[in-house]
Amino acid sequence: MASELNKLRVERLVWILVYGGLLALVLGMFVQRYDSTLADALQIGGTVVACTGALLIWVRSRMK
Q: What is the pLDDT of residue 1?
A: 67
pLDDT tens by residue, the chain, 64 residues: 678 888 999 999 999 999 999 999 999 999 999 999 999 999 999 999 999 999 999 999 998 7
Q: 38, 31 in Cβ contact below 8 A?
A: yes
Domain-wise residue ranges, the chain: 4-62
Rg over CA atoms, the chain: 15
